[in-house]
Homo-oligomer: A and B are copies of this chain.
Amino acid sequence: MDGLDRIDLRILAELVTDARASQIELAEKVGLSPTACARRIRHLEEIGVIRGYRVDLEPSALGLVTTVVVTITLEKQSEDYLAAFEAAIARCPDVVSCHLMSGSDDYHLQVIARDIADFERIHKQHLSRMPGVARIHSSFAMREVVRRTIPETALRG
């Protein structure tokens, strides 16, 4: 991975702040000419560091104020059980993150819903119908303290 130098990281840091900055603005901020800057960006896109450019939406402004942390335990942790569950969970549109955890056969999910009633719907329609599930445990978030897309450490020269 690490053909990235300080300038690349600075470019990425700027694009995290504002992905719509023109190459000219960008070039000024990182101390490069626009063409050199453009070349580096294209390179970062080609090697897959940059996956794309997305709008950053405010969930609460869309009525999504209920974050739930869900822990799911499977009945068995055989390959096919894992695969079946993961295929199913990937199709659940309310899930924003899902990780298979080590040290147990658990999955950790984050689900975002409109309210508690909406989460009940998600629970009934999706979570409780997942294949091979032994146990589901849900915890509601009262407040969001930190939200980031990537650790700041990653973009420090």
Give residues in A with beta carbon < 8 Å to B: 1-2, 4, 12, 15-20, 47-64, 67, 69, 86, 89-90, 93-104, 106-113, 139-154, 156
- Give the oligomeric copy count: 2
B19–A151 touching, CB < 8 Å: no
A143–B99 touching, CB < 8 Å: yes
Known A2-B63, A67-B99, A89-B146; judge A20-B53 contact (CB<8 A): yes
B99–A69 touching, CB < 8 Å: yes
Cβ of A98: which chain B residues have Cβ within 8 Å of it?
A: 144-146
| Bound form: Cα–Cα A100–B47 in Å | 37
A54–B54 touching, CB < 8 Å: yes
